[in-house]
Amino acid sequence: AQSVSQHNHHVILSEAASLELGCNYSYGGTVNLFWYVQYPGQHLQLLLKYFSGDPLVKGIKGFEAEFIKSKFSFNLRKPSVQWSDTAEYFCAVRPGSSNTGKLIFGQGTTLQVKP
């Protein structure tokens, strides 16, 4: 079955530290890849996405992610986190063959940034 794994369930960092959150998926074909973020009390919002082209994608708020096809990975990075980055981060995959739009999510990573 298709699945998405996020290795870090809970990450605690100090401000200005660098961030990398892992995401791996199990699907052999073409995929669309997403990172969503949920700030406390707010809706899930899109951080960035990869559909095709340059495997290094840049998103909002200084986040970026790199798609490495050979590793089935789409890790999220930020060089210097801020307290306001405290949130839940979800990686999601949509198989390219899907005509239903169904997203398959990882179980999320809670990021806590200490001021």
Partner 1 sequence: DTAVSQTPKYLVTQMGNDKSIKCEQNLGHDTMYWYKQDSKKFLKIMFSYNNKELIINETVPNRFSPKSPDKAHLNLHINSLELGDSAVYFCASSQEIGISIQYFGAGTRLSVL
60 makes contact with partner 1 (CB under 8 A): no
Stretch that binds partner 1, among 17-25, 30-38, 54-62, 76-84 (CB under 8 A): 30-38
32 vs 25, 39, 102, CA distance in Å? Answer: 11, 23, 11
Residues 6+ apart with CB under 8 A from 89: 6, 21, 35, 36, 37, 38, 47, 76, 108, 109, 111
Task: Pick the stretch among 11-19, 53-61, 77-85, 98-106 that binds partner 1 (CB under 8 A).
Answer: 98-106
Interface residues for partner 1 in 37-56 (CB under 8 A)?
41-46, 49
26 belongs to the binding site for partner 1 (CB under 8 A): no
Output the smallest distance, CB 40 to partner 1, in A: 10
**Nearest to residue 8, comparing CAs of 90, 69, 83, 85?**
90
Task: Indicate whether 36 belongs to the interface with partner 1 (CB under 8 A).
Answer: yes
Site residues, partner 1 (CB under 8 A): 32, 34, 36, 41-46, 49, 88, 90, 92, 98-103, 105-108
